């Protein structure tokens, strides 16, 4: 039989007993005193018996379903997404009366506390979970250990806290891997591509000094500046940062700078006002990836870029007249910006343009 059913049956029995005792008290009292006094005695007796019944029901509930009190306290905290370990630790402290109690949760092979910091639990920590290996409770009062251990299977009470710790560990591991990959790419670029581009720029600069034609010298100087700017942008991207012009001048200026050398970009509608760094970086990388795909893979002759703000949504639209057929499932570029937009809480849509080509549209929250 379910524990909840047992508790309901017990509550019903206690209610019936309370009514019987109250009625019996009134009958007995009426034999010795007047009716009004007998009624008063009955009311007082009902209150006393009812109070005892409530205490018995609470005690039986803790005996039959030890997690009921903890479930009630957790429900009273409301939405605790992102702080489930802290919420469970807070409830355990309240229920046990131990303000120094701490919770340790195992994520993979690492034990972490309620704040996510790695710890080494003591040998006398009380195990929780189905097999005693999901979490530990560290008590400063040994007499509380037995009460916590008697709860047995914590089941759904513990699962959200453990899952939260596992997700955080996986995210931290992914961040470390991404940082290591960026460092490797940065070293490769520094030792290879950057050095090669800077060498070309230096050779052009030296060659330009011997030119007598002012127009030719100006063209060489502009090329040298462009090469050095490209090196700076590549370095910033490899280190996980944003292009300098995006940081200093905003999304509109960065996109204008990006498409300036491209003759195929025939129309642009760019924003004038600034947005948060996260919004501008995400919008810039969506546009740059869509433009790169249109130029390299779609064979587009014309590309249009539009950045529009409607309410609290910033929309980036890149339209080309290439061969079409772009697929979010194919290629790391579109898949990468899809994941980036989704992580930001936005939506990326890729559809066929009419009469031909591709439309890449990203909607980003900016309010």
Confidence (pLDDT) at 245 = 84
CA of 15: how far to CAs of 12, 61, 151, 197, in Å? 5, 15, 27, 87
Confidence (pLDDT) at 306 = 92
Confidence (pLDDT) at 218 = 81
Distance CA 38, CA 23 (A): 10
What is the torsional sign of CA 240, 245, 251, 254? negative
Strand 110-112 versus strand 102-107 pairing type: antiparallel
What is the torsional sign of CA 246, 250, 252, 257? negative
Topology given in CATH for the domain delimited by 249-365: Heat Shock Protein 90 (3.30.565)
Confidence (pLDDT) at 308 = 92
Confidence (pLDDT) at 256 = 87
For 125-179, list the strands marked E by DSSP.
126-128, 135-138
pLDDT means over runs of 10, the chain (367 residues)? 50 61 57 57 59 54 53 56 74 78 82 85 74 66 66 66 81 72 65 68 74 78 76 64 81 86 78 87 88 79 90 91 65 70 85 86 88
Number of other residues whose CB lies within 10 A of the CB of residue 58: 12
Confidence (pLDDT) at 307 = 92
Long-range Cβ contacts of 288-293 (<8 Å, 24+ apart): 288/258, 289/333, 289/334, 289/336, 289/337, 290/318, 290/320, 290/337, 290/360, 291/258, 291/259, 291/262, 291/265, 291/318, 292/333, 293/326, 293/331, 293/333, 293/334, 293/358, 293/360
Closest CA to 225 of 254, 205, 208, 250: 205
Distance CA 201, CA 260 (A): 20
End-to-end CA distance of the chain: 52
Closest CA to 282 of 216, 241, 340, 203: 340
Contact yes or no for 260/230 (Cβ under 8 A) = no
pTM to 2 decimal places: 0.46
Closest CA to 362 of 297, 302, 289, 294: 289
Confidence (pLDDT) at 151 = 58
Residue 355: asked if its preceding bond is cis (omega within 30°), the reply is: yes
Tell me the longest C-alpha to C-alpha distance in the chain. 131
Confidence (pLDDT) at 115 = 82
Distance CA 311, CA 367 (A): 8
């Amino acid at each position: 039989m379910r524990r909840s059913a047992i508790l309901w049956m017990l509550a019903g029995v206690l209610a019936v007993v309370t009514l019987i005792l109250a009625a019996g008290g009134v009958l007995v009292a009426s034999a010795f005193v007047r009716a009004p006094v007998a009624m008063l005695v009955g009311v007082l007796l009902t209150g006393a018996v009812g109070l005892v019944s409530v205490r018995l029901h609470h005690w039986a509930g803790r005996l039959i379903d030890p997690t009921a009190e903890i479930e009630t306290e957790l429900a009273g905290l409301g939405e605790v997404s992102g702080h489930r370990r802290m919420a469970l630790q807070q409830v355990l402290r309240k229920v046990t009366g131990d303000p120094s109690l701490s919770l340790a949760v195992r994520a993979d092979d690492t034990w972490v506390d309620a704040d996510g910091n790695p710890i080494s639990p003591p040998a006398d920590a009380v195990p929780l979970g189905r097999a005693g290996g999901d979490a530990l409770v560290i008590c400063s009062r040994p007499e509380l250990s037995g009460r916590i251990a008697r709860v047995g299977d914590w089941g759904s009470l513990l699962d959200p806290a453990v899952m939260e710790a596992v997700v955080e560990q996986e995210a931290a591991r992914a961040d470390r891997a991404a940082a290591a990959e960026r460092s490797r790419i940065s070293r490769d670029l520094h030792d290879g591509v950057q050095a090669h581009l800077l060498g070309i720029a230096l050779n052009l600069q030296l060659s330009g000094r011997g030119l007598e034609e002012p127009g030719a010298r100006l063209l060489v100087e502009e090329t040298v500046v462009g090469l050095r700017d490209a090196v700076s942008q590549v370095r910033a991207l490899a280190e996980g940062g944003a292009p300098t012009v995006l940081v200093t001048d905003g999304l509109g200026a960065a996109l204008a700078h990006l498409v300036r050398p491209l003759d195929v970009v025939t129309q642009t509608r760019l924003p004038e006002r600034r947005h948060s760094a996260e919004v501008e970086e995400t919008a810039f990388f969506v546009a740059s990836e869509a433009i790169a795909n249109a130029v390299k893979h779609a064979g587009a002759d014309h590309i249009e870029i539009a950045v529009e703000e409607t309410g609290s949504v910033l929309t980036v639209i890149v339209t080309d007249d290439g061969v079409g057929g772009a697929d979010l499932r194919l290629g790391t570029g579109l898949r990468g910006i899809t994941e980036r937009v989704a992580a930001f809480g936005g939506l990326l849509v890729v559809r066929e343009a009419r009469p031909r080509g591709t439309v890449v549209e990203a909607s980003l929250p900016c309010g």
